[in-house]
Amino acid sequence: MFTLGDRTFTSRLLTGTGKFSGTKHMLAALQASESELVTLALKRVSLNDPADDLFSPLKAAGFQLLPNTSGACTAEDAILAAHLAREAMGTPWLKLEIHPDPRYLMPDPIETLKAAKALAREGFIVLPYIHADPVLCKRLEDVGCAAVMPLAAPIGSNLGLETREFLRIIIEQAQVPVIVDAGIGAPSHAAAAMELGADAVLVNTAIATAADPVAMATAFKLAVIAGRMAYEAGLPGQHQQAQASSPLTDFLLST
């Protein structure tokens, strides 16, 4: 169990709603993941167009919604999107994403900090998506963010923990939960993030674009639990020299 803002969650797997082939498949996968916190872009809330609306079915299925500001290029954009999202979805929870770069969708540290400060002050529960930058993470914590969401690798790259050394430092220093976001392309990546001591991970692309999203969601669910258990159970260190696991049957040599 871990606590984010004013809520305690059992699942350490956060999920997203992009790239699924349809709402029905999405819901089935999210339910299989046992995720409790699900992010969706403001654009996906179409109160007037039920066919394109994700809000109502997700709400009905009992998920805690985490609106995101995907598409925002400045703090101003993001603050506007946050207000619209709060109104449309009735929640102060917010995944703050500001990425002026359309090609790699890398987050902007300056605008993100500016928006986070303003929105936290207004009472939003702010979860900022950012580079795996240890100093920036401390600053976001200082302005009142409920968690930090450093990236593992570029969004959608499926490359895994490219930022491992920096995640290690962020986790060591953070006083708020650390949720590893972006680039997690396989259950082994999610497990590795949890083994490092991350509090949670967010996975979207790898589930949504799998040949079988329900099975993949289940796989991620198990991997996140496994990684957390291993972290708590005390992983042994790495060695460059072999260490026999079976006792050597030395008497053989003298027979």
In the complex, minimum distance from the CB of residue 128 to its own copies, in angstroms, rounded to a whole number: 13
The answer to whether 68 and 78 have CB atoms below 8 angstroms apart is no
Which of 2, 53, 158, 197: binder of its own copies (CB under 8 A)? 158
Say whether 234 counts as a known binding-site residue: no
68 lines the binding site for its own copies (CB under 8 A)? yes
Which of 1, 51, 60, 252: binder of its own copies (CB under 8 A)? 252
Cα(147)–Cα(170) distance, rounded to whole angstroms? 11
Interface with its own copies in residues 102-131 (CB under 8 A): 103-110, 113, 131
Produce one character per residue of 211-222: b if its CB has 16 or more CB atoms within 10 Å, e if not: eebbebbbbbbe
In the complex, minimum distance from the CB of residue 254 to its own copies, in angstroms, rounded to a whole number: 11
- CA count, 13 A, side-chain hemisphere, 38: 31
83 lines the binding site for its own copies (CB under 8 A)? no
Count the residues of the shown chain that bind its own copies, applying the rule CB under 8 A.
Answer: 108
43 catalytic, yes or no?
no
Cα(141)–Cα(22) distance, rounded to whole angstroms? 36
Annotated active-site residue in 19, 24, 59, 95? 95
In the complex, minimum distance from the CB of residue 206 to its own copies, in angstroms, rounded to a whole number: 6
Query: Which window, 2-10, 86-94, 118-126, 242-250, contacts its own copies (CB under 8 A)?
Result: 242-250
Say whether 182 counts as a known binding-site residue: yes
Amino acid at 195: E
CA quadruple 12, 17, 19, 21: dihedral sign = positive
Whose CA is closest to 201, among 250, 249, 160? 160
Binding site for 1-deoxy-D-xylulose 5-phosphate, by residue number, is 156, 182-183, 204-205
Q: Which residue numbers are catalytic?
A: 95
